[in-house]
């Protein structure tokens, strides 16, 4: 279930042709296979109250999308402009689709433009399709940049399709602007997965004196494995220079929440505890 490259933007036009898993256009080299694993992404923010931040984010997203008036576009429109268009001088940099449950297809588009009042210059949009006409089901512009979305199958007995899109906020903190969705057959095609409140748990589980002060580098595997790598800061470290080693984090998705399962600490080089 990987995004496959199409050499030129014009090749979006025959997208109705059947493809084995997913298709992307243009400028995207083939993604790694599930055996290779997905490439890590250095990429929502570190907030004193992650749960409150998550609920506020969902409220703002819902209000914004409810206010938008988006005319359902034809598939071909994704190749020629941003849908919907929010960013100044917006252009589409990449798009494609995933084949999912029951033969359904989910289209996506990445966007770039000028920075808005929230210091965001990148956006993404997802669409369902019927008879060549697209219905926008989720869109946001919250990052400095986004990587192409990935399709994961989470679970063993009855794998559930999950869409992951990695994003990075503006600034040197590399704060996360990632988004996760459960792809559903129900009335809400994309159900947001809470990928923020796990920060509460990581703060409780880190050894005393260590903290994660910037964004983490998530790995989203097509097989459903989710992990992240993070630098660790000591209280005496400057913002630029974490000296507390690194942490490897592993996660599972439970009831539409990203749950931290394990933390493995690797001390810094030369530390006598190694």
Q: How many residues does the chain have?
A: 274
Who has greater pLDDT, 208 or 60?
Answer: 208
Please provide residue 62's backbone torsions phi and psi, each rounded to the nearest 5 degrees: -65, -40
Are 4 and 24 in contact by the 8 Å Cβ rule? The answer is yes
pLDDT at 8 over 50: no
Q: pLDDT, tens digit, for every residue of 217-227? A: 999 999 999 99
Average pLDDT over residues 169-185: 84
Mean pLDDT across the chain: 79
From 9-23, 100-114, 191-205, the region with the lowest mean pLDDT = 9-23
Q: State the average pLDDT over residues 91-96.
A: 91
Share of the chain above pLDDT 90, in %: 44
Q: Please state, in angstroms and rounded to a whole number, the distance separating the CA atoms of residues 189 and 136.
A: 10
- Assess whether pLDDT exceeds 50 at residue 87: yes
Do the Cβ atoms of 221 and 37 come closer than 8 Å?
Answer: yes
pLDDT band at 181 (very low <50, low <70, confident <90, very high): very high
Q: Is the peptide bond before 68 cis (omega within 30 degrees of 0)?
A: no
Q: What integer pLDDT is reported at residue 105 of this predicted model?
A: 92
pLDDT at residue number 173 = 57
Tell me which of 252 and 74 has the higher pLDDT: 252
- Residue 194 confidence (pLDDT) above 90: yes
Stated pTM of the model: 0.78
Of 45 and 189, the structure prediction assigns the larger pLDDT to 189
pLDDT band per the 50, 70, 90 thresholds, residue 263 = very high
Averaging pLDDT over each range in 96-110, 116-130, 141-155, 247-261, which range is the top one?
Answer: 247-261
DSSP letter string, 145-189:
EEPPPEEEEE-SSS-EEEEEE-EE-SSTT--B--EEEEE-SSSSS
Confidence at residue 265, expressed as pLDDT on a 0 to 100 scale: 96
Nearest-10 Cα torsion for 175, 188, 141, 132: 130
Domain map (residue ranges) of the chain? 9-26+36-193
Give the mean pLDDT of 232-237. Answer: 95
Provide the token pair at 66: 């409810």
Average pLDDT over residues 175-189: 91
Asked if pLDDT for residue 44 goes beyond 70, the answer is no
How confident is residue 117, by pLDDT bands cut at 50, 70 and 90? low
């Amino acid at each position: 279930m990987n995004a496959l490259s199409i050499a030129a933007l014009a090749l979006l036009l025959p997208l109705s042709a059947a493809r084995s898993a997913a298709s992307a256009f243009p400028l995207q080299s083939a993604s790694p296979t599930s055996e290779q694993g997905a490439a890590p992404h250095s990429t929502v923010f570190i907030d004193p109250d992650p749960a409150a931040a998550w609920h506020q984010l969902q409220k703002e997203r819902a209000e914004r999308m409810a206010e938008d008036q988006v005319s359902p576009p034809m598939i071909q429109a994704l190749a020629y402009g941003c849908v919907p268009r929010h960013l100044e001088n917006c252009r589409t940099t990449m798009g494609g689709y995933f084949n999912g449950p029951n033969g359904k297809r989910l289209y996506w588009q990445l966007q770039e433009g000028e920075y808005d009042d929230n210091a965001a210059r990148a956006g993404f949009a997802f669409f369902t399709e019927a008879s060549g006409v697209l219905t926008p089901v989720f869109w946001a512009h919250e990052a400095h940049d986004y990587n192409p979305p990935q399709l994961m199958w989470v679970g063993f007995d009855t794998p559930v399709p999950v869409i992951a899109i990695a994003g990075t906020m503006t600034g040197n903190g590399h704060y996360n602007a990632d988004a996760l969705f459960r792809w559903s057959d129900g009335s809400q095609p994309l159900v947001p997965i809470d990928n923020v409140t796990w920060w509460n748990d990581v703060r409780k589980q880190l050894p005393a004196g260590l903290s994660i002060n910037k964004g983490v580098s998530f790995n989203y595997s097509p097989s459903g494995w989710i992990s992240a790598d993070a630098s660790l800061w000591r209280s005496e470290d400057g913002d630029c220079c974490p000296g507390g080693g690194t942490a490897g984090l592993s996660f599972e998705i439970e009831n539409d929440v990203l749950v931290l399962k394990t933390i493995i600490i690797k001390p810094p080089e030369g530390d006598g505890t190694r």
